[in-house]
Each structure stands twice: as C-alpha cells, then as structure tokens.
Structure 1
Amino acid sequence: MRLKDTGLTAQELKDMVNKYMVETYERYDFIAERAEGMYLYDEEGNAYLDFYGGVAVNSCGNRNPKVIAAIKDQLDDIMHTFNYPYTIPQALLAKKICDTIGMDKIFYQNSGTEANECMIKMARKYGVDNFGPERYHIITAKHGFHGRTYGAMSATGQPDNAIQMGFKPMLPGFDYAEYNNLEDFKSKVTENTIAIMIEPVQGEGGVHPATQEFIEGLRKLCDEKDMLLLFDEVQTGWGRTGAPMAYMGYGVKPDAVSMAKAVGGGMPLAA
C-alpha cells in the first residue's frame, strides 16, 4: 500500500501510529513505503540503505523475487490450516533443514522467542522426566539475549537491564555466568542443573563470538554432567557466519538449536 492511496499526509500517518499503537521502539522519522534489494524507500522515493536487514531477517534482500514467487505459489494452494493434516511444505522443509544442519527432528514455531521457549521447556521436561522434579535449572550467559516472553526473558542474562526491569519476579531456575569463561560456567553447575544455553555469537550483548575452547569446553561439561547444550541461533543462523549455522563452524553439535529470522525470509517462521 502506498501513502497516496490512503488519503493521508505523512504527518497524519505518523500521528495515527503515535495515537493508536503502543510505543516499543523510538521511530526513525521516515515512512518505509516500499523496499527493493538493500534499500528502503519513503513516499517521496528517497532511498535508505537497509543495514538492519529487517533486524537480521532479510538475508536474501528486500522483495527477493524467488521468495515472493514461493509465497505467491503457496497462497494459490493453501494459506493456513490446523495441526492435524499432513502438509507438503512442512515435510519438505523439515527434511531439508535436518539434513543441512545434522539434526534429527524439528518443531516449527512463529518467532525466535517461541523457539527459545520451546528449548527451555524441552530441557526442563527432559530433566524432570529423567532425573526428578528438582532437575530443571538452566545456566545462560551474562549479557545474552533470548527473547521477551517470561521464560526467554528469565533466561536473558541482563537482570539490571530494561528487558527485565518492571517485570520481575522472573521465573526461578536460571543462573548467569560470564560469556567465554568456562570456569565461571563450571562454578554455577549444581546437582539441579539440566542445561546450558548460549548464543554462539552474542548479538545484543555486543557481537562477541564464542572461542573454540569455550564451545568445546561446554560440550564436554554437558556430556560429563548429563546436561543438555542448547544454542540460540535466532540471530546467527542460516549463513550469517558463513556456515549454515554458527555452531557448524566450531565443529561442535548442540543437543538442540533455535532458529528464526533468516530462515523465514520475512515470514513468521521459526524452529
């Protein structure tokens, strides 16, 4: 939709947003009316270089013709259904993802936060089912980011940041250790710890890659202590570090990995 089709001026549209929408981000003072490749365009045709890439989503560029064609083709067949029937795209994509990244199963989600919530639930259920009701604690990294719903927000190691401020108390069972500090992670492990969950490259924490020694050490620690190693690759997954997933560059396989953003190419898809 173009601004001229609404009968509104640019300022009237901005005023409408400010009146009716909850403010979560401070807006840039332009209207993104259309996009092409690496650029956004406002209603006057001014081009803006899109360094955000839709916040790590549009890895194929804006309005990639192959992505658009795939969406249009699917809309002609079926747009949405419930969980019970088999669907062709689900099956084909599940196999392709598992074959590409060396995992066994996939569970589809709508967003990265939901994918991380799923990993948290999976880890806790694994711990409780196999070791008892107290084995549900998870260690994550300080300055990490895993989302803004309660489980993911509790896993986010920023207790004094605005992400958690105003929403406490957080869910119990989470502890935070210094990123790239294997000894600190070891010191936080107790008899109730069931998993370690990190980003292979911290995103909002400042783009800090994990060291090879750290990743290998976490894998060994988890194996020794009967714990799960969980990687949050919502921001790093699908080619952002060169390999399909960042962990593949380390040669270390997690027990579960979350993905979103780039895997959907702009559609609400995660796993």
Structure 2
Amino acid sequence: MENKIIDIGVNLMHRSYNQDREQVVERAAANGVTPLVITGTSLRNSVEAARYAGRLPGKLYSTAGVHPHDAKSCTDATMKQLKQLAAQPQVVAIGECGLDYNRDFSPRDVQRKWFAEQIDLALEQDMPLFLHEREAFSDFIATLKEQSVQKAVVHCFTGTLPELKAYLEMGFHIGITGWICDERRGKHLKELVRMIPLDRLMIETDGPFLTPRDLKGKPQDGRNEPAFLPHILQTVSRCIGKPVEEVAKATRKTSEEFFGL
C-alpha cells in the first residue's frame, strides 16, 4: 500500500506482547502501519507506554490516562504524575479515560470524578482526549458538554445512530476498530461509518483485543496486533464506498492533525 496508515489505539504494553513487542512494531511497519499510538490505561501503564514510545521517536507515541476500570486507584498524586507525563513530547493525548457502566470495576461516582479531573487536565494542557464509553452515554456526554470539550476522539466506537450524531455535533472524532468486521455485533457499524466525515474518521486495532473476526489466517492465540490494521481499513473503505488509498490517506491526515504528530 502506497499510503502508510496510523493505528491510533494499541495496548502495546499489554503482557501478551512481552515476548515480541519489538517484532510487533516491525511487523506493523512492514505492513504500512506506522506510527503507532500506544494507549495508556493506568498510571503505571502510561509511564511504561511513554518510556517505550520515547525509544522510537516518530515511530511510536503514547497517551497518558486512567481507564474507568482503574479509576478507583486514582488520587490527586495520580493527576500530578499524569501532568508530568503529558509534558513529554511523545505523549500526544490524555486518556484512555471515560465511563464504563458495563463492568463497574470502579464505583460510578468515582469514575465520574476522575473522568472530570482528566478532562480538566487535557483542557489545561491543551491536549486532545482519548475517550472510552460503555453503557454510560448519558452521563458521559453530559460531563463532556458541561466541561465544553471540543477536541476528543471516541475510541472504539460501537454505539448507536443518536450517539454518533451527538459526538459529531460536538466536533468529536471517531475511532473504528475491527468490531466493524464482526458480522454479528458490528453489522450496524457498517451503516453508521458512512455518516462519519473523512476528516473525523480514524482507525485502530485496540490490540491485543478485537481481532477482526473475518481475518484469514488468524493467529492461533487470537491476539490482535497493528499489522492487521490494513484489513480493518479495507472493510471501512468497502462500507463507505471509497477507494482504499483515499481512505488510507484521509485517516492518516486526520490522525496526524488530531494528535499533532
């Protein structure tokens, strides 16, 4: 593929990559996927992601944040440390942060408190937000509106038409994963993706999770990785009826401008 594409969300510090992390990055580049944005999901994970990304400037970037599952571990000291991470050049967004009422691994009031704190940090640092929402749309959108958030990407969007419209009306970007390749759960996404303007659309693997269900020659361990992003790109291109090269070029430009790469 002539145009390189960007994976805006890969959990590269996940333990499943411990044995071959460098090879994963190399395989991605060999398949035209570079740079990668490593997702930070806890303070410790964000520190590790920033450290690893710092080893390969221009090829790796990272986010710094606390996922709602880990909100229960947040303190004021956590926010101070996230602020220090945000000052590093390879750290390009605050997150993954948001609300998750599906698992409730952290109490909902605690999730809301630290989500709002991370929004404040992003606004203070003039950085974009990398967002997570699951079964919490009403509180999620209310918090974002209350704090007048303008620059954000809703990572791994799997929601409804009204939710998509609300995000687009707020000027948000949308991240599409291999969920769209699932003929069972992702059928509605094939329709909705047509509504996302190319200057708001980004693609991601969310590896090691969400391996495209229709991927030929899937790895035996089922692990997803950035090298599979072209498969997601092809599915998205087919759904919106545009050439792969055009969508590749557009999503790359959109990602570069959003994250300031």
Normalised by the size of structure 1, how large is the TM-score? 0.31
Question: Normalised by the size of structure 2, how large is the TM-score?
Answer: 0.32
Q: Please tell me whether Structure 1 or Structure 2 has the larger radius of gyration of its CA atoms.
A: 1
